[in-house]
Amino acid sequence: MPVKLTIDGQEVEVEAGSTILQTADYMGIEIPRFCYHERLAIAGNCRMCLVEVEKSPKPVASCAMPVAEGMVVKTDTPMVKKAREGVLEFLLINHPLDCPICDQGGECDLQDETVAYGRGKSRFEENKRAVEDKDFGPNVKGTMTRCIHCTRCIRFITDVAGVPELGATGRGEHMEVGTYVEKALSSELSGNIVDLCPVGALTSRPYAFTARSWELKKTESVDVLDALGSAIRVDTRSNQVMRILPAINDDINEEWLGDKSRNSYDGLLRQRLDRPYVRNKKGKLEAASWGDALKAVAAKLTKAGGSKIAAIAGDLADAEAMVALKDLFTALGSANIDCRQDGAKIGGPRGSYIFNSGIAGIEEADALLLIGTNPRVEAPVLNARIRKRYLKGGFKVGAVGPAANLTYKHENFGDEAKILEAIASGKHDFAKVLKDAKRPMLIIGQGAVARADGDVILGLARKIAEATGMVTDGWNGFNMLHQAAARVGGLDLGFVPGKGGHDVAGILDGAEKGEIEVVYLLGADEIDMNRLGKAFVIYQGHHGDAGAHRADVVLPGAAYTEKGGTYVNTEGRVQVTRLAVFPPGEAKEDWKILRALAEVAGHAPGYDTIEQVRARLAQVNPVFGRLDELSPAAWEAFGAEGKVSGDAFAATIANYYMTDPISRASTTMAECTAAFVNTAAERTGTHG
């Protein structure tokens, strides 16, 4: 029911239940605030948002005041200004004047509001209080003397992240925000409290004292360290990434970002491949010119040719590079290409390998079955979305897979694949829960399909989806959660074995036996390099990880912050990263390397510019032509019939903080690993 009210003389009609502050935001009237945040619960404790409401004798905290019919609100009267000045003066009583050495300086709400409402001089002559700094772990630096007790961090960690480790102890002047017992915040989303903190109490530890916000060039881009494709902002100075922050994308990450995606940027500086290398006769990698390296690779590829060459695309490969590599291998007559390093048995119709409901669709679901997945480590931001839905109530979650603390209540039915058969046939209790739900949903992880009977399990998941009414008009609750940013794009453009071609397992077998003589790794580091046998290995990528160590020729490529690359996220949403810095040294954008190589090999493709490559992508699969859109996939038969093995679903990610060459090269992630993963055995569950 709409309510009519007046703010600053303008009449407005809003839904009942809105607050004055929300209404003012909607009208474009600015009201200062510290504790209010649109994605957190309302606390109403900073008092900065005071406004005058007619007939109310005292100023009113607009963030916590619901609108009422006929209300007359004034936000710019002398009384309001005086009230806000009073609040700010109190806040500044104990706030240190250390802006020149504070990392928040320049992007600090308190600084900004002080400019607007601060008095020129403090009337407070006593000593300021001092609070001991807290150690929140490798991601968050706490300078708690600066804290103004807005409790945004507490509300985020408790409600959104679901790891209630932060709180306010003591009271009055002795109130302190912290963990009471000293411990690092064990949430994968802990970095977000840095963004939420309106002052410099919580700042980023890796970013500490490295740059000032006004020196940074800001580039909006897309994260590729998990398969969500979260919106990010890459902040750079000269040619270096100084920090990565989340950007807003309500369909994917709202405004959150996982700690790995946020803080592994220092890995972009380490272990980089900055020039081509060719292994010499002594077996040592030796720096080479681009020309020599490409000639060496082209010679090997054309000489072996056909079924004796193979290509594997890694988890961070962009679609442009993959299509160029695919075209080259097609020209060379090889069908041995694969983008599924983990051997996942996927790649049928599009509806079988994307997150059909969309990430935002989680909020519409009313029952959820997790199959072989731990979303908390596979995609922490998505897990926060599931928790958000869970907190609204009326949402049953069941899981088949390894037991884990997911931050919301769920029932774990065990980790045996056989349970799926029972659910599919309706014998299991949870089948009824799904059937009774209006919008049931399942999320199947890579742990369920990256196994020998993966296609049977995929078939079972399809049966469950069909038997419980997950696929209806306007709703498709069959969702696959990927871990690799490149995977859906690779499948969309058909980077899978062609007719008579081998998949990753087949390529490794072939290389071991000597049947495959040349293996081209496009950023592929997660395969067992020992199984490549005597094959001639070309590694194209940006980090000196497992692949580069094994390689005979190294071709330096660009990381995701250094190129405009197309990535398709787990929902099937096509997004493009933007160039924020240039690749180091002689490294080049990946599709250009492959374009040059194809020419040297005598198979020049029909594209010379990035636009032409993207046109080629759209030609291969029209979805690439629809940027940032969800294209509903048709529901077709997929998966296989057969018996599932007795093997339990295994956890696919042992260490959230190190899953790819970038995060493995990051010292911040190494610190996180030491702080959270290697002590996991000692830790006890704290979630109630």
Partner 1 sequence: MTLHPEDQPWQPKSFAFTEANLAQAHKIIKRYPEGRQQSAVMPILDIVQRQEGWVSLAAMNLVGEMLDMAPMRVYEVATFYTMFHLKPVGKVHVQVCTNVPCQLRGSDDVVHACKKELGIGIGETTADGKFSLAEVECLGACVNAPVIWIGDDFYEDLDAGSTVKMIEAFKRGETPKAGSQTGRQTSAPAGGPTTLKDAGPTTLKGDA
Contacting partner 1 within 464-503 (CB under 8 A): none
d(CA 418, CA 422): 7
User: Least separation, in Å, of the C-beta of 180 and partner 1?
Assistant: 4
Q: Is 169 in the site for partner 1 (CB under 8 A)?
A: yes
- What lies within 8 Å, CB to CB, of 611 at 6+ separation is none
Q: Which of residues 16 and 130 has its CB atom nearest to partner 1 in the complex?
A: 130
Q: Which of residues 125 and 682 has its CB atom nearest to partner 1 in the complex?
A: 682
Q: Which of residues 11 and 173 has its CB atom nearest to partner 1 in the complex?
A: 173
User: Least separation, in Å, of the C-beta of 179 and partner 1?
Assistant: 7
Please, what's the b/e burial string for 467-496 (b: 16 or more CB within 10 A of its CB; e: otherwise)? Answer: ebbbbeeebbbbbbbbbbbbbbbbbbbbbb
What token pair was written down for 498? 């062609």
Q: Which of 72, 168, 467, 650 binds partner 1 (CB under 8 A)?
A: 168
User: Least separation, in Å, of the C-beta of 158 and partner 1?
Assistant: 8
Tell me whether residue 159 is exposed, middle or buried, using C-beta atoms within 10 angstroms of its C-beta: 0 to 12, 13 to 18, 19 or more: middle
d(CA 400, CA 420): 8
Q: Which of residues 123 and 174 has its CB atom nearest to partner 1 in the complex?
A: 174
Please, what's the b/e burial string for 353-372 (b: 16 or more CB within 10 A of its CB; e: otherwise)? Answer: bbbbbbbebbeebbbbbbbb
Site string for partner 1, 300-339 (x = CB under 8 A): ----------------------------------------
Q: Which of residues 179 and 663 has its CB atom nearest to partner 1 in the complex?
A: 179
Q: Which of residues 99 and 168 has its CB atom nearest to partner 1 in the complex?
A: 168
Q: Which of 17, 70, 170, 349 binds partner 1 (CB under 8 A)?
A: 170
C-alpha separations of 268 from 213, 587, 642 in Å: 20, 13, 45
User: Least separation, in Å, of the C-beta of 189 and partner 1?
Assistant: 16
User: Least separation, in Å, of the C-beta of 187 and partner 1?
Assistant: 13
Contacting partner 1 within 422-451 (CB under 8 A): none
User: Least separation, in Å, of the C-beta of 174 and partner 1?
Assistant: 9
Q: Which of residues 189 and 516 has its CB atom nearest to partner 1 in the complex?
A: 189
Helices (H), 425-558: 429-436, 446-449, 454-467, 487-492, 504-513, 546-550
Q: Which of 44, 86, 105, 164 binds partner 1 (CB under 8 A)?
A: 164
Q: Is 132 in the site for partner 1 (CB under 8 A)?
A: yes
**Strand intervals (E) in 247-403:** 277-279, 285-287, 309-313, 337-338, 367-371, 396-400
Angle at 262 between CA 261 and CA 267, to 5 degrees: 75
Interface with partner 1 (CB under 8 A), residue total 17
Q: Which of 289, 425, 679, 686 binds partner 1 (CB under 8 A)?
A: 686
Piece in contact with partner 1 (CB under 8 A), picked from 164-172, 229-237, 524-532, 604-612: 164-172
Angle at 246 between CA 486 and CA 668, to 5 degrees: 80
Q: What is the DSSP code string of 619-644?
A: HH-GGGGSBT---PPP----S--SPP
**Residues 519 and 312: beta-carbon distance below 8 Å:** yes
Contacting partner 1 within 179-198 (CB under 8 A): 179-182
Piece in contact with partner 1 (CB under 8 A), picked from 165-173, 482-490, 512-520, 606-614: 165-173
d(CA 441, CA 584): 44
**Residues 489 and 353: beta-carbon distance below 8 Å:** no
**Residues 35 and 152: beta-carbon distance below 8 Å:** yes
Q: Which of 86, 167, 414, 469 binds partner 1 (CB under 8 A)?
A: 167
**Residues 108 and 200: beta-carbon distance below 8 Å:** yes
User: Least separation, in Å, of the C-beta of 134 and partner 1?
Assistant: 10
Contacting partner 1 within 139-158 (CB under 8 A): 158
Catalog residues that contact partner 1 under the rule CB under 8 A.
132, 158, 164-171, 179-182, 686-688
